[in-house]
């Protein structure tokens, strides 16, 4: 199968590679998410994932298009990391959706997000490193490396793939 992924982020590509087989062709392509660079609700993050999946399918002419989007969402407990995925197939017109693990962010990080900074640069600044979002991600930092961004997204991709197979068999 040919699978288009709507991102060139390494953690996202790795997640798709982990779940699909070596016989599948995975094409990564930079596409607009159609939402803000830093989505600020579940709804906006889901919308970003859906747009990416749709654009990935169209621009790569693949069998499946996958979109993965990271964001944050306000809760009564504080700001949480949220992650969503969407999958479109060539033969189906409604997207399959799956959500990822979520954790509360430290206040120091949340305050900066609320004043309009993006999580990617905040994390690099906080850890004094570069490109954390391509590697273990914020989730990797705050879980002490036990769950990386790639691993978290691979669960999302597995839930997308499983639902797709279930739908096909139904
Ligand atoms: O190239 P793309 O696919 O856009 O990859 P990205 O890393 O920018 O990822 P998203 O657009 O999905 O994430 C939205 C924002 O949140 C940041 N972000 C999300 N999850 C993160 C994480 O786990 N660690 C660090 N930054 C993260 C990211 O840098 C963006 O500012
Ligand atoms: Mg982005």
**CA 64 to ligand 1 centroid distance, Å:** 22
Which of 66, 119, 132 best tests ligand 1's pocket when mutated (most atoms within 8 Å of CB)? 119
Element (H, E) at 133: none
- Using a pLDDT cut of 90, give the percent of the chain over it: 96
Burial of 5 (C-beta count, 10 Å sphere; 0-12/13-18/19+): buried
**Secondary structure (DSSP) of 21-75:** -TTSEEEE-----SS-SS--SHHHHHHHHHHHHHHHHHHHT-SEEEEEEEEEEEE
Domains located in the chain, CATH noted: 2-169 (3.90.950.10)
Please work out whether the CB of residue 37 comes within 6 Å of at least one atom of ligand 1.
yes
Write the pLDDT tens digit of every residue in 53-103.
999 999 999 999 999 999 999 999 999 999 999 999 998 889 999 999 999
Q: What is the DSSP letter of 105?
A: P
Instruction: Give 170's pLDDT tier (boundaries 50, 70, 90).
Output: confident
**Mean pLDDT computed over every residue of the chain:** 97
**CA 30 to ligand 2 centroid distance, Å:** 10
Write the pLDDT tens digit of every residue in 47-56.
999 999 999 9
pLDDT average, residue stretch 97-117: 97
Please work out whether the CB of residue 118 comes within 6 Å of at least one atom of ligand 1.
yes
Nearest CA to ligand 1 atom 20: 70
Instruction: Give 21's pLDDT tier (boundaries 50, 70, 90).
Output: confident
Q: Is the ipTM of this complex over 0.85?
A: yes
């Amino acid at each position: 199968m040919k699978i288009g992924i709507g991102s060139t982020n390494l953690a996202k590509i790795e997640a798709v590679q982990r779940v699909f087989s070596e016989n599948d062709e995975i094409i990564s392509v930079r596409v607009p998410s159609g939402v803000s660079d830093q989505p600020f609700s579940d709804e906006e993050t889901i919308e970003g994932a859906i747009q990416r999946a749709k654009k990935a399918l169209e621009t790569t002419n693949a069998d499946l298009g996958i979109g993965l989007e990271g964001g944050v969402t306000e809760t009564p407990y504080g700001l949480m990391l949220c992650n969503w995925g969407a999958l479109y197939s060539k033969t189906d017109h409604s997207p399959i959706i799956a959500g990822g693990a979520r954790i509360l962010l430290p206040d120091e990080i949340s305050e900066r997000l609320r004043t309009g900074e993006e999580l990617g640069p905040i994390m690099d600044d906080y850890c004094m490193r570069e490109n954390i979002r391509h590697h273990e991600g914020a989730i990797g930092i705050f879980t002490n490396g036990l769950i990386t961004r790639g691993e978290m997204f691979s669960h999302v991709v597995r839930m997308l793939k499983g639902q797709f197979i279930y739908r096909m068999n139904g």
